[in-house]
Amino acid sequence: MVQSVTRSLLLLDALSKSHKKCSLAELCEITALAPSTVHRLLLALKESRFVAQDSSSSKYYLGPALIILGIRASNYLNLRELARPVLTSLAATSKEDAYLSLIDGDNAIMAESAYGPQPLKVIYPLTVPIPLHSGAARKVLLAYQDPAFIENYLHKKLSKYTNNTTTDANKLRQQLEEIREKGYSLTLGESLNGALGICSPVFDSFGNIVAGLGISCPTLRIKKEDYPALIELVKQHAKQLSSDLGYADAK
């Protein structure tokens, strides 16, 4: 499997550097792979639209799926830069610490943050992975994943970090559905005792979730009557960042 992936990438690299359409023989010469191997890999790459074939010359060239990947990669590369002013605005208006979280396998990491003026804070170190079933940011990222990914995750043994951490798969599945319906997650002390988190999804131009944008603060500082205003601020700023990334439905 690894060898096939490596060889497929070798073919894509060869097509990229050739700056022209290539025949099967030319690709074999460039990559030093056997014709049967190159042909088999090209068929798979054609099916997934990473490679296309000229109907008249039968030569191969890079396919349209790579354009989509390139655009998405560009969004990811710009995401943190685009997020900084949005995070600064959210921290200033909510007067709480704002953060941007990204998915990393079965975990999430905090990639960027902006601090509010309050001296008492809930500190999550940047780039430290935390499992997806605990806390507002992680649950938002999990809620908008592919259904197969979600079910696979829910079938794993889920660790309990506080008394408020949800580890029951059915209950967690219901919570994820509610997050998708409401467009945000609010949690109390799920990954850290005494911490409140509110987070909303950030989407790219194709409608795929790329991040969670939210705030975190000590539970003792926030009253229940403050929740609606903070939720609205988080949702507005997440929509702003989604719009900056080209997501049309964010407006």
Predicted confidence at residue 224, as pLDDT, reads 94
Q: Which structural domain range is residue 43 located in?
A: 2-63
- Per-residue buried b or exposed e for 38-76, using 16+ beta carbons within 10 Å of the residue's own CB: beebbeebeeeebbbbeeeeebbebbeebeeeeebeebe
Mean pLDDT of 197-224: 94
Structure-model confidence comparison of residues 136 and 123, the more confident one: 136
CATH code of the domain containing 110? 3.30.450.40
- Give the residue, 118 or 248, on which the prediction is more confident: 118
- Distance between CA atoms of residues 102 and 126, nearest Å: 11
Average pLDDT of the residues in 194-212: 94
Q: Are 214 and 200 in contact (CB under 8 A)?
A: yes
Q: 166 pLDDT exceeds 70? A: yes
Tell me if residue 115 falls in helix, strand or coil: coil
Q: Are residues 133 and 235 located together in one domain of the fold?
A: yes
Count of domains observed in the chain: 2
In this prediction, residues 112-130 reach a mean pLDDT of 84
Q: What is the spatial distance between Cα 86 and Cα 240, in angstroms, rounded to a whole number? A: 8
For residue 13, the domain's CATH number is 1.10.10.10
**200, 238 contact by CB (below 8 A):** yes
Higher-confidence residue: 128 or 93? 93
pLDDT at 75 over 70: no
pLDDT at residue 68 in the model:
76
My answer on whether 44 and 85 are in the same domain is no
Residue 239: CB atoms within 10 A of its CB come to: 21
- Of 63, 88, 116, the last residue of a domain is 63
pLDDT reported for residue 250: 61
CA angle, 165 then 148 then 132, to 5° = 25
Closest CA to 214 of 99, 85, 93, 82: 99
pLDDT for res 65: 87
Q: Please give the average per-residue pLDDT across 61-77, as a whole number.
A: 78
Q: Is the pLDDT of residue 38 over 70?
A: yes
pLDDT, tens digit, 9 for 90 and up, residues 9-22: 999 999 988 888 99
pTM score > 0.75 for this model?
Answer: no
**Per-residue pLDDT at 50:** 93
CA separation for the pair 100, 14 (Å, rounded): 37
Sign of CA dihedral 214, 218, 221, 223: positive
Q: Which of 24, 44, 63 is the last residue of a domain?
A: 63
